[in-house]
Structure 1
Amino acid sequence: MINRVCIVGAGVIGSLFAGHLAQVCDVFMLTRRREHAGALNREGLRVSGKSERHVRVRASADAGTLPSFDVGIIATKATGLRGAAEALEGSFPDATMMTVLNGLGAEEIVREHGAWPIVSAVTFMSGTRHSDTHVEYILDTETWLGPYEETPFERVEEIADLIVSSGLKAEALPDLRPAQWSKLIFNAAVNPVAALTGLPHDPHFSAEKEPTDLGHLVRGLVEEGKAVAEAAGIELNDDPWAMNVLATERGSAHYPSMLEDVEAHRRTEIELITGSLVREAERHDVSVPLHTALYGLVKAREDSW
């Protein structure tokens, strides 16, 4: 029975989970900033858009003040993951931790800091942050969950059922890697391109009519990613190119987080996304010149601030 959930990271994804799960269980939020926690405690958390909710949550910027919980949903940016895992280290021994970050490798970082059972997850839902206490729910798509190491699949199903009961979409999978890699290739083909061009994820990303259309580059990135997945023995859950086309046809241009980070002169998630793909390519001796170029360009863009 899951009665208490802690959301680690109060950005868009963490807030969407919190705003929905607070309807079906007790929700605590671990924030990076004290003023963010204070605002949530005073005003509650509002979700608008695909669903309308205003819920009470308990928030803190100090993990040591949190009560015990059954499930921790780690929804930080990649750049904040290690700090969050360090904050949880040595505490909450009875909890199951679920990582829901872009890219590969989040579970290994969490494992360095505790022996908790871990559930791997990737999510396709998205939204827009309007303030510390208000997020807009834009894409009401699924979160996929799977066991990491020896975590029982029954625990994964229990968490997925809780998420669904809150009004979000989720599916438990015995092996998350095919879904994880589909999302990885999709993100690695879209996020760095958005970050470097300044374009939101709109029809430019699937256009291939003219020789200079951006879709040619995006398709090339997808094909390189698929070659790495094949070499790694991964049969993809969904075709990343089809995912890209579908997203551009939804009628609402989404701003990838990497674009937002670049515009705000923040460090991006390039390491866990493109960096992890390039490292997997090297491991399997697969040439990925397009991804290697974008990896270097985004890193250089970060160094320019």
Structure 2
Amino acid sequence: MKRVCIIGCGAIGSLYAAHLARVAEVWALVRREDHARALNQEELRVSGKHSFSVSLKATTTAKELPRDFDLGIVATKATQVEEAIADAGGHFNNGAVISAQNGLGSEEIIAAHTGGQVIRGTTFMSGTRHSDTHVQYELDTATWLGPFEPRETPMSVVQEAANLIIAGDLKAEALADARPAQWSKLIFNASVNGVSALTGLPHSPHFAAEKQFDDLGHLLHELIAEGKQVAAAAGVKLHEDPWAMNKIGAMTNHPTSMLYDVRHQLPTEVDFLSGAIAREAERLGVSAPLHTTVYRLIRGKEAAWKFQEENRPVVVQGRAGG
């Protein structure tokens, strides 16, 4: 794999772009003209766990990309995948595309727009994007990759993608079945992001505390247990324990992505997180009242941002009498 396109250059996308640019020709497909211009004119700098700068090419339109890529990594939020891949998908018909989103459902969207191979991707690495050309590498955990079953992605393609990421000095692991890793992160993210968005708290020690009756850790434990039950009903044995992941993350005081969205009144990924767990539970005929409640509350919060009818009585239009 010699030519790579990173779709979306937030913190995660920037980390992939910078590291892979050390071992391959890398293009970045971004949304803003000034972002593309900055990447084309300046080097992309990495600080933190690694320290280096690289050059790459960037554009805001798929028409300006080379015709074919060996590998694509979609690193946008789940809510942006459809828009991001719609025009670019044909560039990967002879290659492969990795999903790098939270939750469930991104692979299906990607597969609808490309004839190439699709790879399930789950990553726990993290960083902070200080500017369009500077990303700080913070948590250096692995990206887990596996075949997307409906596309029957060959394991050899998954391994080749993992090898490329490793060659760029990031951690990666090719798995015969990536769903256990994906579900582990889904349950962790749905639980932590949902509570964070509803309380306004970053991922902090509150999320693991269980000594007092009113401690949030009780709710987190119950949300995670419920998610595990749905995963078990789906026949998925988890790769990692989401509660252990929560306890580790709770020491970071890191503001979650959904908390950021709520603070800025942006569309959240709740449909792909608690919403995905709730829908899967319904499909399987099992109960998931907590995740269903979290899902509906956050959807209600999103509706409140545009609601302008406060103190305006609803007028019901009745039929004229005869």
**TM bracket (short chain):** over 0.9
3-state SS of paired residue (1:163): helix
* 1:101 maps to 2:97: no
Q: Which moved more, 1:86-95 or 1:188-197?
A: 86-95
Q: How far apart are the structure 2 equivalents of 1:11 and 1:300?
A: 27
CA contact (8 A) 1:20 1:53 kept: no
Q: Aligned to 2:87, what secondary structure does the other structure show?
A: helix
Map of 1:77 onto structure 2:
77
- Alignment-mate amino acid for residue 102 of structure 2: N
- 1:69–1:92 contact (8 Å) kept in structure 2: yes
Q: Which residue of 1 aligns with 2:196?
A: 194
The answer to whether the aligner puts 1:122 opposite 2:93 as a matched pair is: no
Deviation at 1:48, TM superposition (A): 1.4
Letter of the structure 1 residue corresponding to residue 61 of structure 2: D
Is 2:71–2:92's contact at 8 Å kept on the other side of the alignment? no
After superposing on structure 2, the runs of 4+ consecutive aligned residues of structure 1 that deviate more than 4 Å are none
| CA distances 1:252-284 after superposition (whole Å, capped 9, x unpaired) | 322211111111111011111111111001011
- Could you tell me which residue of structure 1 aligns to residue 143 of structure 2? 143
The code of the aligned residue for 2:196 comes to: A
How much identity, in percent, do the aligned residues show? 55
Over the aligned positions, Cα root-mean-square deviation in angstroms equals 1.1
For the pair 1:294 / 2:304, whether they are aligned, the reply is no
Give the CA deviation at 1:142.
1.0
Change beyond 3 A, Cα 1:165–1:246: same
Q: Tell me if structure 1 keeps the 8 A contact 2:209–2:216.
A: yes
Structure 1: gaps of 5 or more residues:
none
SS of 1:90's equivalent? helix
Corresponding position of 1:246: 248
Q: Report if aligned partners of 1:72, 1:97 keep a CA contact under 8 Å in 2.
A: yes
Q: Which runs of 5+ in 2 are unaligned?
A: 306-322
Equivalents in 2 of 1:103, 1:124: separation in Å?
Answer: 13
Match of 1:232 among 213, 231, 234: 234
Alpha-carbon shift at residue 245 of structure 1 (Å)? 1.0
Query: Which entry has the higher C-alpha Rg, 1 or 2?
Result: 2
Paired residue type of 1:73 = I
- How far the C-alpha of 1:116 sits from its partner, in A, is 1.0
Deviation at 1:93, TM superposition (A): 2.2
Matched residue SS, 2:295? helix
Aligned to 2:319: none
In the TM superposition, what is the alpha-carbon distance from 1:32 to its structure 2 partner? 1.2
How much does 1:243 deviate?
Answer: 1.1
Higher alpha-carbon deviation: 69-78 or 240-249: 240-249
* One-letter identity of the residue aligned with 1:254: H
User: Residues of 2 paired with 1:180 and 1:159: CA distance?
Assistant: 17
Cα deviation per residue 1:271-303 (whole Å; 9 max; x = unaligned)?
111111110010112211111111111111112
Task: Tell me the amino acid that sits aligned with residue 298 of structure 2.
Answer: V
Letter of the 2:46 counterpart: V
Once residues 55 and 115 of structure 1 are traced to their aligned partners in structure 2, the CA distance between those partners, rounded to angstroms, is 31
Q: Which residue matches 2:320?
A: none
**Partners of 1:255 and 1:157 in 2: CA distance:** 33
Decide whether the 8 Å contact of 2:71 with 2:95 is kept in 1.
yes
Q: Which moved more, 1:293-302 or 1:224-233?
A: 293-302
TM-score normalised to the size of structure 2?
0.91
Query: In 2, are the aligned partners of 1:96 and 1:117 still within 8 Å (CA)?
Result: yes
Write out per-residue CA displacement over residues 219-259 of structure 1, whole angstroms, 9 at most, x where no aligned residue: 0100110010111111111111111112224xx32221111
The alpha carbon displacement at 1:125 in A equals: 0.7
Q: 1:175, 1:92 → 2: CA distance?
A: 22
Aligned to 2:315: none
Residue 163 of structure 1 is matched in structure 2 by: 165
Structure 2 distance, partners of 1:91, 1:5, is 10
Label 1:115 to 1:295 Cα distance change in 2 as closer, same or farther (>3 A): same
